[in-house]
């Protein structure tokens, strides 16, 4: 259990073996799984990215970006519009990153000065405002009617494999970023900021720049997920691209797995998405009810997340880290 005692000692052997097995499975999956399960797995990866993106701004920076789905929509629309203008998918997708960063910097400058609840609901309002904006702009975005992306000539079977692999790549990038945050000095700075903004300022941390950077990183990954989603579904409309449920689901996944941990959001995403898929199929009429009850249970019984509880059994007696 050495790996759990000291953070710097690196992961323990069982964790490495388990991690490697999961990685091998994820890489082989598109070539062995049926289309249905590939779809489920792709959506797990997509929500994994959303949850990991939230983890950066919520778990590590302490800013509850409840409406982070705004970046999902921005990513979906900048990819969609880019492709409608004739750009290839890869380029259009890559361009979502600068777009997300510009939005995060421009909007984050005033919004990230707000604290707690105010920031949380301001992001919700931002999401709504962006959605209305896309509806009203019309033109190349298709407005309320939605936007159809160019169909890829290679056929769906191949396309879905590629979509899956791109999602996997982005998720790996997001997880690597979080891992780096968890260990590196930037992560210490962010966590100092999370626990006391004034304290962090006294220690010479430029908190404004840090917060904006964290949100830009969070937004970029979320936007990439949105961009791939747009090409995956090939038809986007404002209400589904800026669906607040996307970030709320990501939020619950992050909480379930454990916020502020490297792999927690991934575990949460896999668990909740599989669960949702099963109840969606079995209980068509009451799946919202079950999902709602699950959320209530998670929040009331294990607000620290699954990962925390798994670990807590292993090192009993350690005081619980209180989340804010």
> Which stretches of the chain bind other proteins, using CB under 8 A?
64, 66, 110-111, 113-114, 116-118, 120-122, 124-126, 128-129, 132-133, 135-136, 248, 251-252, 255, 285-289, 291-296, 299-300, 303, 322-324
Nearer residue to other proteins within complex by CB, 10 or 116 = 116
Distance CA 269, CA 45 (A): 8
State in angstroms the smallest separation of the CB of 169 from other proteins.
Answer: 29
Nearer residue to other proteins within complex by CB, 134 or 216 = 134
State in angstroms the smallest separation of the CB of 254 from other proteins.
Answer: 10
State in angstroms the smallest separation of the CB of 59 from other proteins.
Answer: 12
State in angstroms the smallest separation of the CB of 257 from other proteins.
Answer: 14
Nearer residue to other proteins within complex by CB, 165 or 294 = 294
Nearer residue to other proteins within complex by CB, 121 or 159 = 121
Q: At what angle do helices 306-314 and 244-257 cross, to 10 degrees?
A: 0
Question: Which residues are within 8 A (CB) of 211 and not within 5 positions of it... i.e. 6 or more apart?
Answer: 61, 63, 108, 112, 193
Widest pairwise Cα distance in the chain: 60
Q: How far is CA 119 from CA 88, 196, 251, in A?
A: 36, 16, 15
State in angstroms the smallest separation of the CB of 247 from other proteins.
Answer: 11
Distance CA 76, CA 78 (A): 6
Structure tokens at 82: 């880019």
Nearer residue to other proteins within complex by CB, 123 or 220 = 123
State in angstroms the smallest separation of the CB of 174 from other proteins.
Answer: 21
Nearer residue to other proteins within complex by CB, 110 or 155 = 110
Question: Which residues are within 8 A (CB) of 167 and not within 5 positions of it... i.e. 6 or more apart?
Answer: 42, 45, 46, 49, 225, 228
């Amino acid at each position: 259990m050495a790996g759990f005692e000291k953070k710097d000692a690196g992961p323990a052997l069982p964790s490495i073996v388990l991690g490697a097995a999961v990685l091998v499975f994820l890489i082989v999956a598109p070539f062995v799984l049926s289309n249905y399960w590939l779809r489920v797995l792709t959506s797990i990866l997509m929500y994994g990215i959303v949850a990991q993106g939230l983890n950066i701004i919520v778990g590590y920076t302490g800013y509850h970006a409840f409406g982070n789905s705004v970046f999902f929509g921005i990513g979906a629309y900048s990819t969609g519009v880019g492709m409608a203008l004739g750009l290839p998918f890869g380029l259009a997708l890559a361009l979502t990153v600068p777009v997300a960063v510009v939005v995060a910097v421009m909007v984050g400058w005033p919004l990230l000065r707000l604290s707690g609840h105010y920031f949380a609901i301001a992001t919700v309002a931002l999401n709504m405002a962006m959605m209305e904006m896309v509806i009203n702009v019309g033109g190349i975005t298709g407005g309320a009617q939605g936007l159809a992306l160019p169909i890829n000539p290679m056929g769906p079977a191949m396309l879905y494999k590629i979509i899956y692999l791109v999602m996997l790549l982005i998720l790996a990038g997001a997880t690597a970023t979080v891992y780096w945050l968890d260990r590196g000095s930037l992560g210490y700075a962010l966590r100092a900021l999370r626990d006391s903004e004034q304290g962090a300022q006294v220690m010479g941390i430029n908190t404004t720049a840090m917060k904006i950077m964290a949100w830009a990183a969070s937004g970029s990954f979320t936007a990439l997920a949105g961009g791939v989603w747009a090409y995956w579904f090939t038809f986007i409309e404002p209400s589904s691209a800026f669906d607040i449920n996307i970030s709320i689901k990501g939020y619950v996944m992050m909480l379930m797995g454990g916020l502020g941990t490297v792999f927690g959001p991934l575990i949460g995403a896999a668990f909740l998405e599989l669960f949702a898929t099963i109840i969606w199929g079995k209980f068509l009429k009451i799946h919202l009810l079950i999902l709602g009850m699950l959320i209530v249970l998670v929040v009331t019984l294990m607000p620290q997340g699954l990962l925390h509880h798994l670990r807590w059994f292993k090192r009993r007696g350690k005081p619980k880290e209180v989340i804010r």
